[in-house]
Chains A and B, each alone.
Chain A
Amino acid sequence: MARIVLGIFLVLLSLMPAMAEKQPYLLHVLILCFLYAIPAVGLNLMLGYAGLVSLGHMAFAGVGAYTAAVLMVDGHWDFWLALLAGVLAAGVAGAAIGAICLRFRTHFFMIVTLAFGLMLYSVMNNWDEVTRGAAGFPGIPRPAPLGGFSFGPLPNFYYLALAAALAAFAVQWIVVRSDFGRVLAALRQDERLAQAKGVNTMLYKAAVFALGSAIAGLGGVLHVSFLRVAAPATFNLAESINAVLIVIVGGAGSLAGPALGALVFVGLPEYLRAAAEWRLVVFGVILVLIVLFAPQGLAGFVKRARA
């Protein structure tokens, strides 16, 4: 049953550019959904599956985005290579910073991730020579055509974003089902027990921090390529908080959670006729209500409705 729904959903998504030919706005919104869902997948692995609440997640998306931006614009690298480099840079930054953050627990872990997120943001905002500073990094290209398929037009970029999002979800699926994922789950349940069984918990947590950051980097590179400009504000504390919101509202620790969360966070409000700030007020309230009354998030509702 779930597979059929998923299949229909995927077919619909891939047919969307044809069906919504006259509605570029819809495509635009869906692309944004994908671009928000990708980092959320990374955070879901960390927060939902490994119990690591990072408050600086989007800064790692920024590391990826700015790395790729510099390589493409100043280094004249090809988009695909720069994308790879951006993902790797985010992953390496995640591994290094994660290793430091993971020396701390609970509140202290959150505070250190917050501090590192702010520090990275401050670098993006202030290192004018490299990042072009607060004004943003203009002129970021869309990918070069691939076998005659150009990514300039909206429908074509849509397929790129969709493919990237599917890749992120596939990685999440594989990781959760792997031995690695099972160890993470065991860690989250009872870290001491896992340690007693000889698991190097630090290594596992650092690995998931690196992986989550790399996935965030993927989202970051695509995001700035889509907007054609990298702005520090795309990766600030407020965005990191939004990432947490997406994961929690969607359902932390559920495979579909980031997709549901991003859809609700980006998609729905575009079609609500309310001012932006009221939408965010409503989202804040929803977040608090979900934490209070439905810790499983939307995915939990879906699951319960099916049961």
Chain B
Amino acid sequence: MLSAVLEQTLNGLMAGSVYVLVALGMVLIYGVMHVLNFAHGVLLMVGAYVCHFFFVRLTGSYPLSILLSAAVLALLGIALERAVFRPLQGNLRNQVIASLGLILVFENLVIALWGPNALQMKVAATAALVPLGEMRFSVQHLLVIAVTLAVVLVLFSFLKFSKFGTAIRATSQDRMAAMVVGIPVERVDWITFGLGTALAALGGALIGPLFIVFPQMGDAPMVKGLAGILLGGMGSVPGAVIGGFIIGIAESVSTVFLPTDYRDSVAFIVMVLILLVWPRGIFGVSVRGED
């Protein structure tokens, strides 16, 4: 029992890592632009396909393919910000509806280009196993967690200590004030959007080899990332990290006690409960006029 819980905790950390990467991107974009991009999970999926493409067809190098995928998705995110979300600025309803349209576009574009069937992405790190006590985990499994933690660390340092990172935080706290002090808020918008989609691509590229690459692979991470964001407090960046990990661990550990069918429901129930009884989440963020 205990070892099952431990094993599932480690599994949960891995799944949670992906939720964290999704949640970070969504929460950064939400903070700066007040856009809730429901297409974020689909962008994770596109990132996985792009990584697969670079890895299998072009380079043969997994790390290089991850970087290329993140770069391509950053460009895609910047284009979307420019063409779709910026023109709709201030119109929250239409931004959400446009993001639903983007889900349709990308999910089906991928099916049209790659077909509906899942792809395999075999990397050496998936086959290599490391023993941890009685259990054995693949290197890739641990790599996902390690890379996510490293990314979180770098991102936090960037936001905390760099001038542009501070400007991103400033813009998300008060856009008008940011304009008043001369922060180029539109540049903050597109850079944040590009950064957020690159993080989603990283998530897709990291889990691709562990599971399979398929057109709906981003749906669950999007919803669970969102659950993590709510748990951490809508708009809080550290909250998104902690919330994402908690959701991942909670749903994995739940499989020890509940039928695995209910694994996904954990996140939905957490979402609703959080909103009902604890709407400000762990970090108690006040969200602009939205409670």
B-side interface residues toward A, CB under 8 Å? 30, 36, 38, 84, 87-88, 92-94, 96-98, 100-109, 111-112, 116, 219, 223, 226-227, 230, 234, 259, 261-262, 264-265, 268-269, 271-272, 275-276, 279, 290-291
Contacts and interface: CB of A to CB of B under 8 A. Distances in A.
B36 A107 contact: yes
A281 B226 contact: no
Nearest to A275: B112
A284 B36 contact: no
Interface in A207-249: 237, 241, 244-245, 248
Contacts of B36: 107, 110-111
A38 to B, nearest CB: 20
Interface string A79-122: 00000000000000000000010011111101110111011001
Interface stretch (A23-31, A151-159, A161-169, A287-295): A287-295
A129 interface: no
A263 to B, nearest CB: 18
B112 A241 contact: no
A110 B104 contact: no
Given A107-B92, A292-B84, A115 B268 contact: yes
A116 B102 contact: no
B100 A116 contact: no
A126 to B, nearest CB: 4
Contacts of B112: 275, 277-278, 281
The 4 closest A-B pairs by CB, nearest first: A284-B104, A284-B105, A287-B101, A280-B108
Contacts of B259: 126
Contacts of A203: none
A283 B71 CA distance: 27
Contacts of B262: 122, 126
A190 to B, nearest CB: 15
A108 to B, nearest CB: 6
A285 interface: yes
Nearest to A240: B100
Classify the interface of chain B: helix, strand, loop or mixed.
Answer: helix
A60 B154 CA distance: 44
B230 A111 contact: yes
A58 interface: no
Contacts of A118: 223, 264, 268
A255 interface: no
B88 A119 contact: no
Sorting the interface of chain A by its residue count into under 10, 10 to 19, 20 to 34 or 35 or more gives 35 or more
A277 B97 contact: no
B275 A106 contact: no
A287 B265 contact: no
B167 to A, nearest CB: 24
A105 B101 contact: no
Contacts of B38: 55, 114
A291 B101 contact: yes
Contacts of A280: 104, 107-108
Interface string A130-169: 0000000000000000000000000000000000000000
Contacts of B107: 280
Contact of A281 (B108, B268, B291): B108
Nearest to A244: B100
Nearest to B35: A107
Contacts of A287: 97-98, 100-101, 104
**Max chain B C-beta neighbours (<10 A), residue from A51, A106, A112, A275:** A106
Contact of B276 (A100, A119, A275, A284): A100
Contact of B265 (A100, A105, A119, A286): A119
B286 to A, nearest CB: 13
B97 A291 contact: yes
Contacts of B276: 100, 103
A277 B96 contact: no
Interface in A264-283: 275-281, 283
Contact of A122 (B96, B268, B275): B268
A288 B92 CA distance: 14
Contact of A295 (B94, B106, B109): B94
Nearest to B276: A100
Given A115-B272, A241-B100, A241-B103, A288 B84 contact: yes
A283 B104 contact: yes
A279 B291 CA distance: 39
A277 B88 CA distance: 27
Contact of A244 (B30, B84, B97, B261): B97
